[in-house]
Structure 1
């Protein structure tokens, strides 16, 4: 089932756009989200002209759902764009084909982005963007980036006492939790979701949710809940608007929220998540956006050529970065956009040590129980009981 899992892509809205299929069919059909499609279209058409073929880039608001609705191979795309979190399920269901990049091309991509495109030792997509959480602050109220949570809390409490804010930290939790927001605490002391193999791959049969290291981070999350620093009535629907309305000086979110923040007029800056007590270093999850080749592509050789020779071009990834606001995966493109806009460097630095979201099919069993555990912990329930219960449920639901 390729239906979106709870927690996947939270905070990353897509503008609703109708799916329009070209007729007659072009030699190469590409499906992309609206923000990316407009930026990609000129370069894709250039690719077609140089090769004497027709190329259509279709704006699809929900690529994943559209793929489910395909009734015949010729009505689907040759290439489509989406997050790497789809990878494990799509490989298992034979929806995608492996892609081939030269060693030189691979060296030109950020290692974490390339890691997100791999599954079971094979490369299944070409990465073009990286998304992660960071700390966004209102620079009128918080001119300096806090290095520790103690500094953040102290300033937040002072601002609250002065009547300038009514929230110390805006971080998505809600009644069902938010895995993206909770994970950095889980990893801060060496815990996580799945254990890793010596080569860095996730081992989905070995949960470390209820390990001592994970529990240490969960206890800190519980303390922040008890102290009112993180509040359960804040979720992914109201965290950014509350920041824009100046209810809090600090917000945990990703680059996808920047247009809303800018529209609010709040002056802002971005920095890494601050350090937790006792050496805790929060580690965010990374979403890596990929070009995929469909397993039912009508022009498979042309599709492979496009993702190999066009998707890895510097100018293409620069255009996509400007359209999405996300740091590009190609190192040369990242240098270009970061030199002109410091925000790209700020988001990239905040995710530099991040973990790609496990793209294994077993993650479908994780989102709901782990999100609920985070919500329960913030609401005051025992961290050890909450994590143990989540681990038990996930183990029983693992494929």
Structure 2
């Protein structure tokens, strides 16, 4: 991954080059597909940075777009096409800590016209008055995955144009469990446990837990076992006042997770984390694994292109369907951009077409959100077709600001439950901590 120093952004477009430095992340990537764990990847200051870390400065082009470095090439490609077609200059800037930098710069009137980023930013962006609703006609909205549109809709208003989606799925090693897909998660675990008992692999099902837990990867198990995170209103908007962790279903789900933990079936383990979840599976030491498209490169390298199966995560037998979190990458119009008319036109006419969305799929390497492009890749890229199918069965990650208070306490609760602590009390403690944090935010 390329990453520019904090506080600096270099315009790319009209013949300019990106000045970039390298930085590692906490998980693997496949092209532009990055796991949520990589969003806040740590950065190292370079000698070129000032002690005050000056805010990024927008370029002087007619239209300025901000993105992160992983999606730079994709954004540059569609920006160049739009610039040539409309006789204007377009600058694409790769900005570190894109969301925070954008909010600050937009408030100062020094931000871009278009922002590119994850859908779960929307709540904070709207809370800060940083983006405008997108004026996309209904017949154009219909060209996209309904779940992707749902993800970029906030308080019943469309705020972004989605171009790529991602979700967790179930990977299994063909040489261990056979060339098959599973009707239930219980079936997959049973097949994996048979291989563990035979000494073929070390783990039946890899799911990252670690010492601090992983609420993102645990969500499909939690929802299948009856839990929910936030309730929804009649329009489908998440309600931060309806936290379901300590509801009867949430407590039952916590108990189910505990049964799979280290003092139960020993399927879920704190020794499996984001650091080794993918590598252990790719090395043939786990029968199955829950992960996302960012794992594909390592899995293909380790097991071969035909050495694994991939399917949407099934639910537990006799329980609810598994609903992992779905994520979308999208374009947004900055509320204080200098050229907002160009911004709306770029998104509605420059990006909202099959050619541009195909370019974004090829360059950003994410399952496409536009259904026509998604249909066109099914034969050549069946893995992405499966990920897209999984995303349709998933629930968009809550974009409400309250979500920021969830990750740490819920993750710790899951780690405690897996390690053998009382599931009900652990979940009640997490719910109390989250409610208190939401009330004080």
TM-score between the two structures when normalised by the length of structure 2: 0.83
2:119 is matched with: 84
Q: Deviations over 1:324-374 (max 9, x none)?
A: 432211111111122321112211222322111111111111111111111
1:245 is matched with: 283
Change (3 A) 1:242 1:326: same
Unmatched 5+ residue regions in structure 2?
A: 1-34, 50-55
Of residues 130, 146, 156, the one that matches 2:182 is 146
Of residues 365, 375, 383, the one that matches 2:423 is 383
2:318 is matched with: 278
Change (3 A) 1:160 1:100: same
Shift of 1:68: 5.8
Q: Deviations over 1:79-132 (max 9, x none)?
A: 121111111011111222221100111111111111111111111111111111
Shift of 1:40: 2.9
Unmatched 5+ residue regions in structure 1?
A: 1-7
2:63 aligned with 1:28, yes or no? yes
1:121 is matched with: 156
Shift of 1:42: 2.5
CA contact (8 A) 2:78 2:351 kept: no
2:219 aligned with 1:183, yes or no? yes
2:44 aligned with 1:9, yes or no? no
2:383 aligned with 1:343, yes or no? yes
1:4 is matched with: none
Of residues 240, 245, 270, the one that matches 1:232 is 270
Q: Aligned Cα RMSD in Å?
A: 2.5
1:3 is matched with: none
Matched positions, count: 392
Q: Deviations over 1:291-350 (max 9, x none)?
A: 111222111110111111122211222222233432211111111122321112211222
CA distance in 2, matches of 1:97, 1:136: 39
Shift of 1:388: 1.0
CA distance in 1, matches of 2:226, 2:190: 26
Shift of 1:153: 2.2
Alignment of 1:85-100 (within 5 A): 85-100=120-135
Change (3 A) 1:13 1:147: farther
CA contact (8 A) 2:103 2:125 kept: no
Of residues 250, 274, 294, the one that matches 1:214 is 250
Change (3 A) 1:339 1:356: same
Q: Which moved more, 1:141-150 or 1:168-177?
A: 141-150
Q: Which moved more, 1:124-133 or 1:312-321?
A: 312-321
TM-score between the two structures when normalised by the length of structure 1: 0.91
CA distance in 2, matches of 1:32, 1:301: 19
CA distance in 2, matches of 1:117, 1:373: 29
Shift of 1:383: 1.6
Q: Which moved more, 1:96-105 or 1:28-37?
A: 28-37
